[in-house]
Structure 1
Amino acid sequence: MVEVVRQAFGSSSMEPIFGKIQAGRSTPAGRRTFRNMEAVIGYNLIEAVPEVADYLRLRSISGLTPRSVEAARAGLPGSFFAVCVRYQGETVAMGRIISDGALFFHLVDVAVDPVHQGKGWAKP
């Protein structure tokens, strides 16, 4: 999936994001996890669509327009690609790409818990 995103946006533009990521591994839930500076600062970047509750909470506390539970349940499964940042088991940041799979890839729902802002998680 990372390669699809790199191809869509060009490898040089994605290097600041994916250049920091080491090889992924599978978890029991079938999600790939990526580890960057986890050992140093305790954050874990995971390729996963956020849970509905995390999605709604992060949108709210980061200042994005609120969405309904129904809209989140309907929209999140249609994500082309998504990542979450977890800290001590809590989702503290997220970002999604929605796409038609060929021509358009839109980065949406980039949100970081204000307590964890300033660490570069929302920067390309």
Structure 2
Amino acid sequence: MILLPDPVWPVVVLAVIVAGDGLLTFRPPRAIAACLDGVGFPREWWWVLATVKFLAAAGLVAGIWIPGFGAAAAVGLVAYFLCAAAAHLRARYIGRDFWLNCLGMLTVCLAVCIVCFLL
């Protein structure tokens, strides 16, 4: 395992995406709210998701200079989206949101882990 990302640009792109996702979680558009409601995630806990996403984005950025931070944040994001996928499956909420958003982000996070920290 590589403790500093190489190449760096996928980590930066993922950090921007995750930070934007965190912003959208604070006041979610109708589609995101429907998704969170669809999996049965309590509204009073939505702020936790935003916090996790902001911390992950900060960890990815810090990991450009601090060995291990980026790798830990990327692995944490993989775990986050695996949990999100499990929530979708448990709730049988497996429409477009599941296939494009949840599994799409899981794929992107896995790709960043593999390309930037394992190869």
TM-score band by shorter chain is 0.3 to 0.5
Q: Which has the higher contact order (CA 8 A, sep 6+)?
A: 2
TM-score (normalizing by structure 2): 0.33
TM-score (normalizing by structure 1): 0.32
More strand by share: 1
More helix by share: 2
